[in-house]
Amino acid sequence: MTPLPPKIEIIAVGTELLTPYYQDTDSLYITQRLNDLGLTVSFKTIVGDTTEDLQQCFRTALQRSDWIFTVGGLGPTEDDRTREVLAAALERELVFRPDILDRIKTLFKKLGVSMSAANKKQAYIIQDAAVLDNNNGTAPGLWIEEGNKHIILLPGPPRELKSMFESSVWPRIQSFRSFFLVRRTLKMSGTGESFIESLISDLHPQDSRLNLTMLSYPGQIEIHLTGRSETSEYEAQALVEELRMHLEQRLTPYIFSTSGEELEAVVGRLLTSKQKTLAVAESCTGGLLGHRITNIPGSSGYFVGGVQAYSNQVKLELLGVPAEQVQRHGAVSSEVAGSMASGIRSKTRSDFALAITGVAGPDGGTPEKPVGLVYTALAYEGGIVCERNIFPGNRETIKIRSTQKALSMLLKHLSSPQSGAHPGRKP
């Protein structure tokens, strides 16, 4: 008989997580990495910085769970109490570690800031705990063995948590692998959730080793597949790949990535491989398109820049959009979108240019040009293509959908067989 898998609990600590404004997101990351080892989470608890409530949660977790991950409450402030309260629950001392204080002091020196007295608190650790180094902040993590239970204290800031998890927690939990788990994500744009569902409704897996989850974001649908095997990664992989193949047969026109890449990364990869350059001209998105493109490391290899043509004056003077065009068709029109794209393309001598102009709202809509009306244009060697859409949602969502549409247009062009072909020239 194989042993039961461990009961795992994640405790997110912070009074702000009990307000209507904040959600614990760290636990999603921890869950993902545990799932990678075939381990599942049984309980998540969210508790404030109150000593009494924290105590209550630690006692409960110590009774019902074998592995306890705590997140947060390791900072230097008065209301960071995870260490103290857990030490009391375990009836252990807090021990001062001068080497940790030295590390913290060095970190502050590197940043050119003087350490505040409050940080000294972070050099106290729970007796007999192993210290998990923090490469991105002052709070060290702790790994505690209590009987046959493991208690792992992690810092709340995601950057600190992730780096610590990868470098110090992951190597220690490898040996607890109970399943082989393989994931695949299909990312799609250009259609909606119910349409995708109608195309694949008969493909939902009956096999309990397979899971299919569909998620919907503005301008993007994702299908997450997981396959589990007790015997081998190969088997888990084979399960997932068979399902993926069936899905791809139905969904090919909408899929832009099967490896987890964002749309801007896929576009960037194609531009790099084709040695082409890109410029943008953004009105209602104000810079979001360029921001997304430049989120990809190495984007300076293909992205030359662009113009945030928010006012009409900038459209005219920096992009060379004809004043007569704005007057006759309005700034939100296919004509102006096209002129913006060809304007920035010629000014920057880039191979491709994307332009966006629209009504992001909440104000500024009219019966003819309602909130959500957006024109996106692609200019390339062979001409200009333009699309008109009316996007649902609020200002932020409309901005996101607009950039998604613009990137999709470029991707479609880059993926088509005649991409880059001069009109009249054979591909």
Residues 341-360: x/- map of binding to a second copy (CB under 8 A)? Answer: ------xx-----------x
Map the footprint of a second copy across residues 162-181, applying CB under 8 A.
Answer: none
Rule CB under 8 A: is residue 14 a binding residue for a second copy? yes
Binding residue for a second copy (CB under 8 A) from 102, 133, 207, 317?
A: 317
Count of chain residues binding a second copy (CB under 8 A): 110
The Cα 30–Cα 67 span in angstroms is 12
Residues 398-427: x/- map of binding to a second copy (CB under 8 A)? Answer: -x----------------------------
Q: Using a CB cutoff of 8 Å and minimum separation of 24, what contacts does 370-376 make?
A: 371/398, 372/398, 373/332, 374/284, 374/332, 374/398, 374/401, 374/402, 374/405, 375/332, 375/333, 375/334, 375/336, 375/337, 376/337, 376/402, 376/405, 376/406, 376/409
In order of 89, 152, 153, 355, the CA distances from 145 in angstroms are: 14, 9, 12, 57
Rule CB under 8 A: is residue 4 a binding residue for a second copy? no
Rule CB under 8 A: is residue 72 a binding residue for a second copy? no
Q: Kindly state the smallest distance separating residue 16's Cβ from a second copy, in Å.
A: 5
Q: Kindly state the smallest distance separating residue 113's Cβ from a second copy, in Å.
A: 7
Residue 277 · residue 306 · CB < 8 Å: no
Q: Kindly state the smallest distance separating residue 401's Cβ from a second copy, in Å.
A: 12
Map the footprint of a second copy across residues 38-57, applying CB under 8 A.
Answer: 40-50, 53, 56-57
Rank residues 298 and 383 by Cβ distance to a second copy and give the closer one: 298
Residue 81 · residue 73 · CB < 8 Å: yes
User: What burial letters (b/e) apply to 127-138, b meaning 16+ CB within 10 Å?
Assistant: eebeebebebbb
Rule CB under 8 A: is residue 192 a binding residue for a second copy? yes
The dihedrals phi and psi of 119, each to the nearest 5 degrees, come to: -65, -20
Rule CB under 8 A: is residue 26 a binding residue for a second copy? no
The Cα 242–Cα 309 span in angstroms is 47
Binding residue for a second copy (CB under 8 A) from 259, 275, 300, 418?
A: 300
Map the footprint of a second copy across residues 233-272, applying CB under 8 A.
Answer: none
Binding residue for a second copy (CB under 8 A) from 1, 3, 4, 20?
A: 20
Rule CB under 8 A: is residue 280 a binding residue for a second copy? yes
The Cα 137–Cα 354 span in angstroms is 39
Rule CB under 8 A: is residue 79 a binding residue for a second copy? yes
- What is the distance of C-alpha 166 from the center of its chain? 17
Rule CB under 8 A: is residue 131 a binding residue for a second copy? no
